[in-house]
């Protein structure tokens, strides 16, 4: 997907640190001087702290059309200060990789690939649920990471984070550049695009003029026509472009919080790499995409009085429902028709959502009792995405 306008030029190629190539490009030098958060260790380092609910083993990395390519995890956020003030209780809690409903008879429990408790850091989440996808993308396997959940469950905290707790997007960008440094035998070209889908309209966040872009298809797959792609030379460079894109979203909306809960954003890193040195051996040039997606809030639309809200809600429901169906088909070896065309989100991501690509679905939830039913809906969505059997539904 994305644009076909990106040049195949190697001018901005990034080479590994120990590259045997005689010239050092200014771009790799630029990278060495840059650090996003002052962290010197690679983002792939194993989890620093072992916590309750959390085990640091990485997930399987093999790539066949199977459940192994799709990782479904659930992340609890802590009760918010407001929830605590309101005397909210914990309605759902983690027990190993299972989530159990508190004070409920019959007991309901769901199992996932991994469950992250409220004290797990985003870096821990990254190591388990994102690093293998980023690594695969750097080796030529398309990958997509979704944050799914109701508004204020922690999607943006997980994907973007902040200065103190960087999210998966900055960690992935940094990891990608670290991998380049560790891969001396190949040269890389990285490009980014950043878009928003609101009411099934695709807008370019890196280009204010890029409104209502069309999705097209050619022999290589689907792509967004005319979307801007920027070659990036360092993590800081990539992150400054994302920040500018976020700024554009703010400026363009009268109520940013509403917009952000009602739209999907897709950040795409396109990775092109080729072997250094003797190209006559015909070794593969890799072209792959890493998509990092902050989904619209999955809350079920209440009885909406306004037509605008109703319309938004129905677009969101349709695209999230389609996404759930598409992912569930990827984990089913017998799957026949995959309904990519039923939403712009899945249509745009179609080339990265085949059975051979890596997908990580991170579902964010609050333990709070007032959101208990919405949390249950999220848990069911996550379950359906991977055809996981219900673990326990028995009388206490």
- Binding characters for ligand ADP, 328-367, by CB under 6 A (x = yes): ------------------------------------x---
Q: Does residue 106 have a cis peptide bond before it, meaning omega lies within 30 degrees of 0? A: yes
Enumerate residues 154-183 that contact ligand ADP by CB under 6 A: 154-157
Q: Among all chains, which residue has been given the structure tokens 């199977």? A: 66
Binding status of residue 234 toward ligand ADP by CB under 6 A? no
Q: Going along the chain, which residue ranges are E strands?
A: 14-15, 70-76, 92-95, 98-101, 107-111, 114-116, 143-148, 186-198, 201-204, 215-218, 221-224, 230-231, 263-275, 286-294, 358-365, 392-394
Among 15, 77, 132, 264, binds ligand ADP (CB under 6 A): 77
The upper half-sphere exposure of residue 222, i.e. CA atoms within 13 Å in the direction of its Cβ, equals 18
Among 25, 71, 144, 152, binds ligand ADP (CB under 6 A): 152
Does residue 156 interact with Mg ion by CB under 5 A?
yes
Nearer to ligand ADP, 271 or 363 (CB): 363
Position 153 contacts Mg ion (CB under 5 A): no
The annotation status of 265 as a binding-site residue, yes or no, is: no
> Among residues 352, 351, 357, 350, which one has the least CA distance to residue 331?
357
CA gyration radius, the chain = 21
3-state secondary structure of 280: helix
Identify the three-state secondary structure at position 319. helix
Instruction: Check residue 328 for interaction with Mg ion (CB under 5 A).
Output: no
Question: Residues 6 or more apart from 85 whose CB is under 8 A from it?
Answer: none
Least Å from the CB of residue 91 to ligand ADP: 17
Q: Out of 149, 166, 170, 210, which residue is the one contacting ligand ADP (CB under 6 A)?
A: 149
Concatenating the DSSP letter of every residue in 320-382 gives HHHHHHHHHHHT-TT-----GGGSHHHHHHGGG-STTSEEEEEEEE--BGGGHHHHHHHHHHH
- Could you say whether residue 34 binds ligand ADP (CB under 6 A)? no
To the nearest 10 degrees (0 to 180), the angle between helices 122-129 and 168-181 is 60
Based on the shown chain and the rule CB under 6 A, indicate whether residue 151 belongs to the binding site for ligand ADP. yes
DSSP 8-state secondary structure symbol assigned to residue 27: H
Window 245-264: contact mask with Mg ion (x via CB under 5 A): ---------------x----
Known binding residue 151? Answer is: yes
Q: Which is nearer to Mg ion, 101 or 155 (CB)?
A: 155
Within 10 angstroms of residue 275's Cβ, the number of other Cβ atoms is: 15
Q: Which does 69 bind (CB under 5 to 8 A by kind): Mg ion, ligand ADP, none?
A: none
Contacted by 275, from ligand ADP, Mg ion, none: CB < 5 to 8 Å by type: none
Task: Pick from 153, 203, 265, 360 the residue near ligand ADP by CB under 6 A.
Answer: 153
Closer to ligand ADP by CB, 157 or 380: give it. Answer: 157
Residue 380 binds which of Mg ion, ligand ADP, none (CB < 5-8 A, kind-dependent): none
Does the annotation list 221 as a binding residue?
no
Query: Which of Mg ion, ligand ADP, none interacts with 154 (beta carbon under 5 to 8 A by kind)?
Result: ligand ADP
Q: Cα angle at 75 between 74 and 76, to 5 degrees?
A: 120
Residues in the interface with Mg ion (CB under 5 A) total 3
Select from 327, 299, 324 the least CA-distant residue to 313.
299
**Pairwise CA distance, residues 41 & 126, whole Å:** 14
Question: Does residue 123 belong to the site contacting ligand ADP (CB under 6 A)?
Answer: no
| Footprint (CB under 5 A) of Mg ion, residues 305-324 | none
Applying CB under 6 A, what is the total number of residues that bind ligand ADP?
13
Nearer residue to ligand ADP within complex by CB, 237 or 376: 376
Beta-bridge mates of residue 358: 143
- Closest approach of Mg ion to the CB of residue 1, in Å: 23
The stretch near ligand ADP (CB under 6 A) out of 85-93, 153-161, 183-191, 385-393 is 153-161
> Which residue ranges make up the annotated binding site?
149-156
* Residues engaged in binding ligand ADP (CB under 6 A): 77-78, 80, 149, 151-157, 261, 364
């Amino acid at each position: 997907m994305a644009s076909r306008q990106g040049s195949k030029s190697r001018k901005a190629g990034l080479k590994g640190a120990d590259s045997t190539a005689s010239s050092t490009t200014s771009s790799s030098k630029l990278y060495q001087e840059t650090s996003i958060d002052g962290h010197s260790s690679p983002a792939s380092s194993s989890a620093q702290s072992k916590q309750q609910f959390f085990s640091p083993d990485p997930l399987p990395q093999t790539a066949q059309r199977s459940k192994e390519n799709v990782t479904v995890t659930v992340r609890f956020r802590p009760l918010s200060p407001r929830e605590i003030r309101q005397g909210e209780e914990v309605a759902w809690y983690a027990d190993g990789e299972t989530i159990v409903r508190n004070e409920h008879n019959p007991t309901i429990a769901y199992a996932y690939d991994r469950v992250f408790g409220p004290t797990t850091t985003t870096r821990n989440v990254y190591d388990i649920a994102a690093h293998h996808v980023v690594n695969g993308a750097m080796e030529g396997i398309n990958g997509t990471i979704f944050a799914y959940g109701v508004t204020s469950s922690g999607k943006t905290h997980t994907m973007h984070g902040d200065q103190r707790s960087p999210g998966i997007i900055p960690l992935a960008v940094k990891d990608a550049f670290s991998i380049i440094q560790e891969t001396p035998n190949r040269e890389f070209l990285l490009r980014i695009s950043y878009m928003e889908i609101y009411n099934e309209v695709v807008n370019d966040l890196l280009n204010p003029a890029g409104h209502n872009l069309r999705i097209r298809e050619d022999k290589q797959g689907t792509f967004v026509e005319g979307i801007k792609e920027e070659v990036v030379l360092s993590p800081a460079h990539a992150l400054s472009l994302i920040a500018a894109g976020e700024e554009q979203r703010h400026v363009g909306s009268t109520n940013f919080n509403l917009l952000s809960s009602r739209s999907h954003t897709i950040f795409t890193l396109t990775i092109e790499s080729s072997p250094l040195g003797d190209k006559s051996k015909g070794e593969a040039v890799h072209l792959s995409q890493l998509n990092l997606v902050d989904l619209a809030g999955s809350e079920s639309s209440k009885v909406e009085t306004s037509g605008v809200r109703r319309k938004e809600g129905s677009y969101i429901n349709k695209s999230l429902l389609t996404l759930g169906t598409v992912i569930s088909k990827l984990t089913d070896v017998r799957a026949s028709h995959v309904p990519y065309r039923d939403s712009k989100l899945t249509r745009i991501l179609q080339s990265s959502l085949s059975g051979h690509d890596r997908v990580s679905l991170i579902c964010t939830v609050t333990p709070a009792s007032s959101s208990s039913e919405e949390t249950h809906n999220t848990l069911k969505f996550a379950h359906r995405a991977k055809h996981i059997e219900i673990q326990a539904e028995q009388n206490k």
